[in-house]
């Protein structure tokens, strides 16, 4: 994106609402900020209509704050809880048909590389477990097989949460939800393993209580996708509304479900990151 | 009503105002404009815009992202021309900086949103408004909502093919055309004795 899109036309500087002037003056555009700088800059997502204690809201806040170049990033989302939040995001984002996000991201990523050969443009799919692991599973896997150069981040709340609580492929075996009262009959999808097998150069799983780790993973995944190919991060974001725990216990739940972060880096990606993180 | 009889006039037209295109209103060709759904020469549309803006109680410009942000030199120049136009008719300017729905609610005094433009119009008691620099799909959405729920007269200065959902529209509006419109307005001011 041209720098001008984050600059106010001189003729209208006096009538622009304060929120936008702050975004220009104190936002993260072009400043190479990260999670460690949270609190020192105006964030790109500040308000949202998600439930109290929503793990997904925290996850998205941390992911967005970790993007290495938000002014040159396009987020592709899909139907789900995150789709209620993304319209509030002060950066480019596209809502795709349910499950179609990897197809959209493929076209977008390829087109941006042709249109801006000298300026890296990052495409980041951020979607729920239903969008990635169920309804968009085929598109996701095919994009990984083709080694498309974009990052996929799954917000794993283990169910379809804004439609009353149906089980998804990522719901754990035995879990009963409002709309799936007999309990899940088969195990949670092994998406991390599937991503590795499909050829992703960088694969990680983390929970938002490990904020700095998550931030580093997002940065790594985006950098690897920019240069090498598909990357995948799975972020555990428990849902207090459907899993019926107190909103104050979200991080505790997230830690319990994903205590140890997982990180797989291909040899090629390792070399790239060694250079980038010098 | 036969679609050929449909006219794009001030509302409130009702909760679900029809898209003017679905009622048979077609877009103008180059060199033409639309006044209330009828194709007219561009100059005639400009004179009508001048008349509406100069006789309005509270004319207001709603500039959109295409002129509010400094995308390139053309956008910056167009923004200056829009501002000169607003100043010439003594209009307020309320921006539409992007298309995000505002949560938990918009501040209608300082901004307008395509998803509920009626709130800004009601709050500020706007009787004539001008859309300029708003992406077409959001302009059409907002123009329909305004026609459906308010009695505000809408004018769309479109950089593309015009907006049949506005009461007056010009097409292919660039900086030069805005300057021509400014000249028409200055002439009209002399004619009606407005300083």
**According to CATH, what is the number of the domain B51-192?**
3.40.50.1220
pLDDT > 90? residue B4: no
Q: What angle do CA B148, B154, B159 make, to 5 degrees?
A: 120
Give the pLDDT band of residue A136 (cuts 50, 70, 90).
very high
Average pLDDT over residues A183-189: 97
**Residue B119 confidence (pLDDT):** 95
Choose the mutation target among B60, B67, B68 for the interface with A, i.e. most A CBs under 10 Å.
B68
Apex A160 CA angle, A167 and A177, nearest 5: 45
CB nearest B80 (choices: A11, A15, A90): A11
* Percent above pLDDT 70 for chain B: 97
> Can you give the pLDDT at residue A3?
62
Convert the pLDDT of each residue in A110-128 to its tens digit.
999 999 999 999 999 999 9
Q: Which residues of chain A neighbour B93 with C-beta distances below 8 Å?
A: 12, 15
Return the ∠ at Cα A14 (arms to A42 and B73), rounded to 5°. 90
Chain B residue whose CA is closest to A84: B101
Please, what is the average pLDDT of chain A? 95
% residues pLDDT > 90 (chain A): 94
Nearest CA in chain A to B82: A11
The pLDDT score that the predictor gives to residue B103 is 77
Q: Which residue, among A235, A239, A261, has the nearest Cα to A250 in the 3D structure? A: A239
Bridge pairing between strands A202-206 and A262-265: antiparallel
pLDDT score for B101: 86
Whether chain A has a CB inside 8 Å of the CB on B137: the answer is no
Question: Does the pLDDT value for residue A23 go beyond 90?
Answer: yes
Q: What is the pLDDT of residue B16?
A: 86
Q: Which of A12, A16, A27, A93 to mutate to test the interface with B (most CBs of B within 10 A)?
A: A12
pLDDT confidence band for A182 (50 / 70 / 90) = very high
**Is A1 a residue whose pLDDT tops 90?**
no
Residue A5 pLDDT: 79
Q: Tell me the CATH number at A106.
A: 3.40.50.970
Question: Percent of chain A scored above 70 by pLDDT?
Answer: 99
Read off the pLDDT band of A73 (50, 70, 90): very high
How many angstroms separate the CA of residue A94 from the nearest CA in chain B?
A: 12
> What residues pair up with A94 in beta bridges, in sequence order?
A76
Q: Say yes or no for a CB contact (<8 Å) between A4 and B69.
A: yes
What mean pLDDT is predicted for residues A58-86? 96
Please report residues of B whose CB lies closer than 8 A to that of A47: 103-104
pLDDT above 60 (res B130)? yes
Q: Which of residues 98-117 of B touch A (CB under 8 A)?
A: 98, 100-101, 103-104, 107, 110-111
Domains of chain B, residue spans: 51-192
Give the pLDDT band of residue B195 (cuts 50, 70, 90).
low
| B70 vs A: CB within 8 A | yes
What is the predicted pLDDT for the residue at A168? 97
| pLDDT tens sequence across A238-250 | 999 999 999 999 9
Report which of A67, A68, A141 is spatially closest to residue A102, judged by C-alpha positions: A141
Instruction: Calculate mean pLDDT across residues A149-173.
Output: 97
User: Cβ distance A217 to A233 under 8 Å?
Assistant: yes
- Asked if B53 and B128 touch (Cβ cutoff 8 Å), the reply is yes
The domain in which residue A63 lies consists of 3-276
**With an 8 Å Cβ cutoff, are A7 and B104 in contact?**
no
B43-69 confidence digits (pLDDT tens): 999 999 999 999 999 999 999 999 999
ipTM confidence = 0.93
Instruction: Give one DSSP letter per residue of A112-141, joined into a string.
Output: HHHH-TTS--EEEEEEEHIIIIIITHHHHH
Bigger pLDDT: A205 or A2?
A: A205
Q: How many domains does chain A have?
A: 1
Chain A nearest-CA distance from B95, in A, is 7
Q: Is the pLDDT of residue B137 over 80?
A: yes
Smallest CA-to-CA distance from A93 within A76, A110, A70 is with: A76
Residue A181 has pLDDT above 80, yes or no: yes
């Amino acid at each position: 994106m041209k720098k001008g899109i984050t600059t106010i036309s001189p003729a209208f500087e006096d009538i622009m609402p304060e929120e936008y002037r702050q975004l220009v003056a104190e936002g993260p555009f072009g400043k190479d900020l990260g999670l460690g700088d949270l609190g020192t800059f105006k964030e790109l997502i500040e308000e949202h209509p998600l439930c109290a204690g929503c793990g997904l809201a925290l996850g998205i806040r941390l992911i967005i704050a970790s993007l290495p170049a938000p002014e040159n990033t396009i987020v592709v989302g899909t139907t789900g809880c995150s789709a209620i939040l993304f319209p509030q995001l002060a950066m480019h984002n596209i809502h795709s048909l349910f499950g179609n996000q990897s197809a959209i991201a493929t076209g977008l990523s390829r087109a941006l590389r042709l249109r801006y050969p000298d300026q890296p443009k990052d495409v980041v799919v951020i979607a729920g477990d239903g969008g990635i692991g169920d309804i968009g599973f085929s598109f996701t896997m095919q994009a990984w097989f083709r080694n498309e150069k974009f990052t996929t981040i799954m917000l794993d709340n283990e169910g379809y949460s804004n439609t009353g609580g149906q089980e998804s492929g990522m719901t754990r075996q035995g879990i009963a939800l409002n709309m799936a009262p007999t309990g899940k009959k088969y195990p949670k999808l092994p998406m991390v393993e599937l991503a590795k097998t499909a050829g992703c150069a960088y694969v990680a799983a983390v929970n938002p209580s490990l904020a700095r780790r998550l931030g580093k993973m997002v940065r790594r995944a985006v950098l690897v996708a920019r240069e090498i190919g598909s990357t995948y991060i799975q972020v555990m974001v428990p849902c207090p509304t459907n899993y019926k725990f107190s909103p104050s216990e979200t991080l505790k739940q997230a830690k319990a479900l994903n205590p140890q972060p997982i990180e797989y880096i291909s040899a090629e990606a390792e070399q790239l990151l060694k250079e980038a993180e010098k | 009503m036969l679609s050929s009889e449909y006219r794009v006039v001030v509302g409130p037209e009702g909760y679900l105002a029809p898209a003017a295109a679905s009622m048979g209103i077609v877009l103008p060709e180059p060199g033409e404009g639309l006044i209330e759904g009828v194709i007219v020469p561009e100059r005639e549309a400009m004179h009508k815009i001048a008349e509406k803006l100069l006789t309005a109680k509270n004319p207001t410009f709603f500039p959109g992202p295409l002129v509010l942000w400094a995308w390139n030199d053309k956008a910056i120049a167009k923004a200056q021309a829009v501002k000169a136009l607003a100043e010439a008719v003594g209009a307020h300017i309320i921006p539409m900086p992007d298309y995000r729905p505002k949560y938990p609610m918009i501040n209608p005094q300082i901004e307008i949103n395509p998803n509920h433009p009626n709130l800004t119009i009601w709050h500020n008691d706007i009787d004539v408004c001008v859309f300029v620099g708003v992406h077409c799909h959001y302009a059409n959405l907002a123009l329909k909502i305004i026609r459906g729920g308010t009695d505000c007269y809408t004018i769309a200065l479109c950089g593309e093919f015009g907006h049949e959902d506005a009461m007056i529209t010009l097409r292919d509006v660039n900086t030069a055309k805005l300057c021509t419109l400014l000249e028409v307005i200055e002439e009209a001011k002399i004619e009606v004795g407005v300083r």
